[in-house]
Structure 1
Amino acid sequence: MRLIIAEKPSLARAIADALPGKRRSVEGSIEVGDTTVTWCFGHLLEQAPPDAYDPRYKQWRLDHLPIVPSPWQLMPRPKARGQLAVIRRLLKASSEVVHAGDPDREGQLLVQEVIEHLRWRGPVKRLLISDLNRPAVAKALGRLEDNARYQPLYRAAETRARADWLYGINLTRAWTLTGRQAGHDGVLSVGRVQTPVLGLVVRRDREIADFTPRPFHVLWADFAVAHGQVRAWWQPGEQHPLDDQGRLLARAPAAALAVRLPGAEGRLSELDSRDKRQAPPLPYSLSALQVDAARRYKYSAKQVLDTCQALYERHTLITYPRSDCRYLPRGHHASLASALPTLGQVDATLAEWCRGADFTRRGRAFDDAKVGAHHALAPTGKIPDMARLSAPEANIYRLVVRNVLAQFHAHLETREVKACFEVLGERFAASGSEVLVAGWKPLFTTRDEPPPLPTLVRGEPARVTAAAVEDRETRPPEPFNDASLIKAMMNIGRYVDDPDVKRTLRESDGLGTEATRAGIIETLLERGYLVRVKSALRASRTGHALIASLPDPATRPERTALWEQRLSRIAEADDSEQAFLDALLGDLRSLLDAADAERMRQALGSAQGIEAPAPRRGGRKPAARRRGSNAAAGKTRRRRSSKASGGRQ
């Protein structure tokens, strides 16, 4: 018997549907001919808690740290024992096993750790599926690979899980116990990704709180030219008081010039006109979709992820959503060119976007060289019943289709004009843009474009018809929201000061992964470290105190982003997992030495921030309400062991 082990039930059903033969459902599996398909439902196994290695670790004590398991142990999750028993029984009757985890690092770990835990020693094939439509699944079934090829990917995922355990368990215990000495009664959770993300928000909140607005002044003038009128802005010279962005800090020079300008004769001294062509925005990765959906619809990152999962699993309308890629295989071009016009027949919005599309066009998104384990999100080609989709499902589906449809539209062509006027010995600048070919642009905006500049000729006379000074103030940075925080996690190099590290991180995948970024934000909200204020994400008082009490490197993104790079090298068989863990233990011991009750006391006493609301039903209790001994804290910690150590992150 051939046994296929899928990552989740929906994938197992899609595989069974694509197999030839009569289906028969048996407990925890589906039989089709001589093949049986069974499934996991997320991780069936989890890292064992500290007291599984030594009962004395039930009590949280600083002198136990660092806790370093040897050998490492996995244990069944409480609700997974029944399905593990099903898989164990099926393995005993199998001659061949097929690993059908999702095509990523965690998907490789999720199924393979079950196969190894149940001591299967026979051959294992690898089935990679990113599209649940029957033809795509059938095609994937015809090109199975040797799972040994993916062993480095598994080792990288296993190393990540162990490293997260070491980091989360040890630092959470250390800071919780130090917090208790300082008078904070509750768990203070520290993680290698969640804490730097919290650090981003805390530092942004501090910038906003410490911000002092400064007045600045701008002067505009309207110039009459042969073919119309142009508004231009004064460019004050260095003899005037300017800030580092060239803004005028004193009003008097602008006011004095404004009085002299009306009626003054000048000329158009400089004119630069350039035609530009802009390719369509690429299809979405998950994070890029989360950013756009948050901006357009105010959806949280988790809501977007959950909606994508429903469109992928329940409705089978889009391809695998947890992708970090924004390109499509060249082989998808023909099927999409055939399917997209049909999709336009069932939805007015899609129909409007299909107008003007040229389905023979092959946009830059179709590039095999830039597709890895995943490709960009795309419609599967299945005809949707829009009436059965919720409003968020319909909105997200349209966005996914739109960005793929854009690849079949012409480039946006514009004429960008920059003009400089000279009058009374001063320079005034104006700029404008004219759309020559709208191309893909109407798919992305319904706003009217501002009128272009009138026809201009270099050297032509220009007379000032009006002028005025506008008084403005510098503004603090905006607080983070779901869109900007996800974008910050994607482009984490922007928040790094060290130029060498910044250069290293420029091409990295950022902080967290496509699959985990939404969960990281939700975890920080559930633990009371972040608070949602309308659409903004602000740090709570506890969040501020935790960041202030930790060594600065533990709150910044450099370490975790470099972790991801090194894990990627392990996945490519270019680095050693043991060397990585040894280096981590050295860092961990230094961080543990920095745990200090006095620093914690000061941090708690001076913390600013927003009071976290009561937890949602079924959520974590506020730290102030949790009472008990070290042993009780240990029980609480064990119940959350996978979350504090990063879970699938």
Structure 2
Amino acid sequence: MRLIIAEKPSLARAIADALPGQPRRSDGAIEVGTTTVTWCLGHLLEQAPPDAYDPRYKQWRLDHLPIVPDPWQLMPRPKARGQLAVIRRLLKAASEVVHAGDPDREGQLLVQEVIEHLRWRGPVKRLLINDLNRPAVARALGRLEDNARYQALYRAAQTRARADWLYGINLTRAWTLTGRQAGHDGVLSVGRVQTPVLGLVVRRDLEIANFTPRPFHVLWADFSVAQGQVRAWWQPGEQHPLDDQGRLLARAPAAELAARLPDAEGRLSELDSRDKRQAPPLPYSLSALQVDAARRYKYSAKQVLDTCQALYERHTLITYPRSDCRYLPRAHHAPLADALPRLCQADATLAEWCSGADFTRRGRAFDDAKVGAHHALAPTGKIPDMARLSAVEANVFRLVVRNVLAQFHAHLETREIKACFEVLGERFTASGSELLVAGWKPLFTTRDETPPLPPLTRGEPARVSAAEVEDRETRPPEPFNDASLIKAMMNVARYVDDPDVKRTLRESDGLGTEATRAGIIETLLDRGYLVRAKAALHASRTGHALIASLPDPATRPERTALWEQRLSRISESDDNEQAFLGALLGDLRSLLSAADAGRMRQALGSAQGVEAAPPRRGTARKQSARGKKRTTQRRRAGKPSGGKP
């Protein structure tokens, strides 16, 4: 019997449907002829906790640190024991095993660690699938490879998991124990990803709190021309006091000029007109969808993720949602072109958006070369019963369909016009936009972002009919919300200065992955490090104190970039995992030596931030004894979740 082990049930179903024969479902598996397809449920295994290596580690002590497992151990996740037993039983009857994890580093780890944990010693083939369409899966089944080719990728993923364990377990214990010495009651959790995310919010909060507004001044003038009126803005020269963004810091020059402008005669000295074509926005990755849904509907990142899972699993209306890709396979073009007109008729909004589509058009989103382990979110083609969807589900479904539907609309075409007026020896500029072809734009907004200018002719006279100085102030940055924090995690390179680190962070997934970003935010909220105030996210006093007490490198994203550089080299057999872990231990010992009760006490005493809300109902088990609760929290902190970091 050939046994195929897929990463998730949806992939297992797609594989079974592409095999010749009639699928027959059994407990935890699907049989098709002489092939049985089973699946993992995400990670079935997790890193063992410290006390699995030595019972004395049940007690948290600074003199135990760093804890370094040797040899490393995995243990079943509590909710995964049943499926692990299914795979164990099927392996005993198998003559050949096929690894069908996602074609990426974590997918390689997820299935292979199960195969090795269950001590399979026979041959293993590798099945690489990034498109769940039946023809694509059938082609992949005809191109099985030897899994040995992907051992370097497995070692890189395994090294990442072990490094995260070493980093999280040891620093969490160190800072929790130091916090106790400084009078803090509770776990202070530290992680390679969650702590830099918290650091982003803390630094933004401090930037807002320490912001000093600076006044600046702008001068506008209304110019009467042959066919209308144009409002233009003064461009003061370098002889005036300007800030680094060219804003005028002194009011007097603007006021003096404004007094001389009314009825002054000038001319249109420069006129630049350029036609622009803009392709439709791409279909969504999960993070891009979370950003747009937060902006449009104020949905939290977790709310969007949970809604997508319901649309995928319960309603089967969209494809696999935890994707970091914004492109679709070319083979999806024809099925979508066929299905979209029918499914859009189920909803008035979708029907309106569909009316201008040209389903012979092939947008730039259909590009096999840019499809990775997963493709972009897309409708499955199933006709929705909108009455069975909640309001949130309906809104998120419309967004997913809209961005795919946009690929069948024409480019947006505009004429961008920039005008420069000269009067009294000074320059005033205006800009406008003329819509030539609406294309995909009506699917996203019905308003003009830049109003058009009246017809203009270079050199024509222009008389000033009115002018005024406006007094303004610089404004602090906005606090983070779900949308902007997810976007910051996606584009974290903008928050670092080192060019090599910037490049690595651009090439990697930033902080977290599509599957984990919402969970990271929720974890920080549940642990009381972040507080949600309406739509804004702020760090709590505890969050501020934790960041202030840690060495600065532990609170910034550079470490993720440096890890990614070496993990990439390990995955290409250009680096050694033992050397990486050895260097990490040296770094870890340096960080542990910085754990200081005095610094912690000072951080706790001077921490800004807001008070955290009480723990959410259901996030922690109520316990009568305070000591018992403390022990449970420590054990939880001692077992960081697995999966993609």
* TM-score range for the pair, normalised by the shorter chain length: over 0.9
**Conservation of the 8 A alpha-carbon contact between 1:202 and 1:544:** yes
Q: Say whether residues 1:628 and 2:627 are aligned partners.
A: yes
Q: CA deviation at 1:590?
A: 1.0
**Conservation of the 8 A alpha-carbon contact between 1:191 and 1:646:** no
Q: CA deviation at 1:524?
A: 0.6
**Residue in 1 that maps onto 2:638:** 641
SS in 2 for 1:479: coil
SS in 2 for 1:361: coil
Q: CA deviation at 1:109?
A: 2.0
CA distance in 1, matches of 2:150, 2:395: 36
SS in 2 for 1:584: helix
Matched residue type, 2:597: A
Superposition pairs of residues 353-502 of structure 1, within 5 angstroms: 353-502=353-502
Decide whether aligned partners of structure 1 residues 368 and 3 sit closer, same or farther in structure 2, where only a CA change above 3 A counts.
same
CA distance in 1, matches of 2:282, 2:619: 38
**Residue in 2 that maps onto 1:100:** 100
Matched residue type, 2:91: L
**Conservation of the 8 A alpha-carbon contact between 1:266 and 1:421:** yes
Decide whether aligned partners of structure 1 residues 271 and 22 sit closer, same or farther in structure 2, where only a CA change above 3 A counts.
closer
> After superposition, what is the alpha-carbon deviation per residue over 1:224-274, rounded to whole angstroms, capped at 9, x for unaligned?
001110000111222222222111222222222222211111111111111
**Residue in 2 that maps onto 1:221:** 221
Unaligned runs of 5+ in 1: none
Q: Say whether residues 1:90 and 2:86 are aligned partners.
A: no
**Conservation of the 8 A alpha-carbon contact between 2:419 and 2:430:** yes
Q: CA deviation at 1:147?
A: 2.9
Matched residue type, 1:638: R
**Conservation of the 8 A alpha-carbon contact between 1:179 and 1:600:** yes
Judge which range, 88-97 or 9-18, deviates more.
Answer: 9-18
Superposition pairs of residues 335-350 of structure 1, within 5 angstroms: 335-350=335-350
CA distance in 2, matches of 1:427, 1:368: 50
Decide whether aligned partners of structure 1 residues 10 and 329 sit closer, same or farther in structure 2, where only a CA change above 3 A counts.
closer
Decide whether aligned partners of structure 1 residues 137 and 389 sit closer, same or farther in structure 2, where only a CA change above 3 A counts.
farther
> After superposition, what is the alpha-carbon deviation per residue over 1:150-172, rounded to whole angstroms, capped at 9, x for unaligned?
33332222111101100000000
**Conservation of the 8 A alpha-carbon contact between 1:186 and 1:626:** no
Q: Say whether residues 1:154 and 2:151 are aligned partners.
A: no
Judge which range, 7-16 or 510-519, deviates more.
Answer: 7-16
**Conservation of the 8 A alpha-carbon contact between 1:277 and 1:413:** yes
**Residue in 1 that maps onto 2:81:** 81
**Residue in 2 that maps onto 1:251:** 251
Decide whether aligned partners of structure 1 residues 484 and 619 sit closer, same or farther in structure 2, where only a CA change above 3 A counts.
same
Q: CA deviation at 1:89?
A: 1.6
Decide whether aligned partners of structure 1 residues 157 and 601 sit closer, same or farther in structure 2, where only a CA change above 3 A counts.
same
Decide whether aligned partners of structure 1 residues 461 and 622 sit closer, same or farther in structure 2, where only a CA change above 3 A counts.
farther
Q: CA deviation at 1:421?
A: 0.9
Decide whether aligned partners of structure 1 residues 344 and 127 sit closer, same or farther in structure 2, where only a CA change above 3 A counts.
same
**Conservation of the 8 A alpha-carbon contact between 2:362 and 2:408:** yes
Matched residue type, 1:641: G
Superposition pairs of residues 592-603 of structure 1, within 5 angstroms: 592-603=592-603
Q: CA deviation at 1:276?
A: 1.2
Superposition pairs of residues 484-633 of structure 1, within 5 angstroms: 484-620=484-620, 627-628=626-627
> After superposition, what is the alpha-carbon deviation per residue over 1:429-476, rounded to whole angstroms, capped at 9, x for unaligned?
111111111111111112245531011111111001111111211110
**Conservation of the 8 A alpha-carbon contact between 2:301 and 2:483:** yes
**Conservation of the 8 A alpha-carbon contact between 1:172 and 1:188:** yes
SS in 2 for 1:366: coil
CA distance in 2, matches of 1:621, 1:51: 22
Superposition pairs of residues 169-318 of structure 1, within 5 angstroms: 169-318=169-318
Q: CA deviation at 1:85?
A: 2.3
Identity of aligned residues (%): 89
Decide whether aligned partners of structure 1 residues 144 and 431 sit closer, same or farther in structure 2, where only a CA change above 3 A counts.
same
Decide whether aligned partners of structure 1 residues 303 and 104 sit closer, same or farther in structure 2, where only a CA change above 3 A counts.
farther
CA distance in 2, matches of 1:574, 1:210: 46
TM-score between the two structures when normalised by the length of structure 2: 0.94
Q: Say whether residues 1:54 and 2:51 are aligned partners.
A: no
CA distance in 1, matches of 2:535, 2:554: 27
**Conservation of the 8 A alpha-carbon contact between 1:243 and 1:249:** yes
> After superposition, what is the alpha-carbon deviation per residue over 1:169-227, rounded to whole angstroms, capped at 9, x for unaligned?
00001111111111111110000000000000000000000011122211111000011
Matched residue type, 1:513: T
Decide whether aligned partners of structure 1 residues 90 and 286 sit closer, same or farther in structure 2, where only a CA change above 3 A counts.
same
Matched residue type, 2:209: A
Decide whether aligned partners of structure 1 residues 76 and 4 sit closer, same or farther in structure 2, where only a CA change above 3 A counts.
same
**Conservation of the 8 A alpha-carbon contact between 2:15 and 2:37:** yes
Superposition pairs of residues 124-135 of structure 1, within 5 angstroms: 124-130=124-130
Matched residue type, 2:331: G
Q: CA deviation at 1:50?
A: 0.9
CA distance in 2, matches of 1:184, 1:29: 49
Unaligned runs of 5+ in 2: none
Considering only aligned residues, what root-mean-square deviation do their CA atoms show, in Å? 2.4
CA distance in 2, matches of 1:306, 1:143: 35
Q: Say whether residues 1:43 and 2:40 are aligned partners.
A: no
**Conservation of the 8 A alpha-carbon contact between 2:43 and 2:642:** no
Decide whether aligned partners of structure 1 residues 606 and 33 sit closer, same or farther in structure 2, where only a CA change above 3 A counts.
same
Matched residue type, 2:636: R
Matched residue type, 1:637: R
Q: CA deviation at 1:136?
A: 5.7
**Conservation of the 8 A alpha-carbon contact between 2:327 and 2:366:** yes
CA distance in 2, matches of 1:641, 1:200: 24
Decide whether aligned partners of structure 1 residues 293 and 34 sit closer, same or farther in structure 2, where only a CA change above 3 A counts.
same
CA distance in 1, matches of 2:156, 2:388: 40
Q: CA deviation at 1:13?
A: 4.5
CA distance in 2, matches of 1:621, 1:199: 28
**Conservation of the 8 A alpha-carbon contact between 1:268 and 1:419:** yes
Q: CA deviation at 1:399?
A: 1.6
Q: CA deviation at 1:23?
A: 5.1
**Conservation of the 8 A alpha-carbon contact between 2:241 and 2:250:** yes
Decide whether aligned partners of structure 1 residues 27 and 438 sit closer, same or farther in structure 2, where only a CA change above 3 A counts.
closer
Decide whether aligned partners of structure 1 residues 289 and 75 sit closer, same or farther in structure 2, where only a CA change above 3 A counts.
same
> After superposition, what is the alpha-carbon deviation per residue over 1:339-365, rounded to whole angstroms, capped at 9, x for unaligned?
222222322222222223222222222
Decide whether aligned partners of structure 1 residues 45 and 295 sit closer, same or farther in structure 2, where only a CA change above 3 A counts.
same
CA distance in 1, matches of 2:72, 2:149: 24
Judge which range, 311-320 or 208-217, deviates more.
Answer: 311-320
CA distance in 1, matches of 2:462, 2:476: 38
CA distance in 2, matches of 1:285, 1:25: 32
> After superposition, what is the alpha-carbon deviation per residue over 1:461-517, rounded to whole angstroms, capped at 9, x for unaligned?
100111111121111000001111111111111100234433443433211112111
CA distance in 2, matches of 1:568, 1:391: 42
**Conservation of the 8 A alpha-carbon contact between 2:273 and 2:417:** yes
SS in 2 for 1:80: helix
Matched residue type, 2:122: G
SS in 2 for 1:331: helix
CA distance in 1, matches of 2:368, 2:27: 41
Matched residue type, 1:484: S
CA distance in 2, matches of 1:268, 1:394: 51
Q: CA deviation at 1:137?
A: 5.1
SS in 2 for 1:468: strand
CA distance in 2, matches of 1:28, 1:361: 42
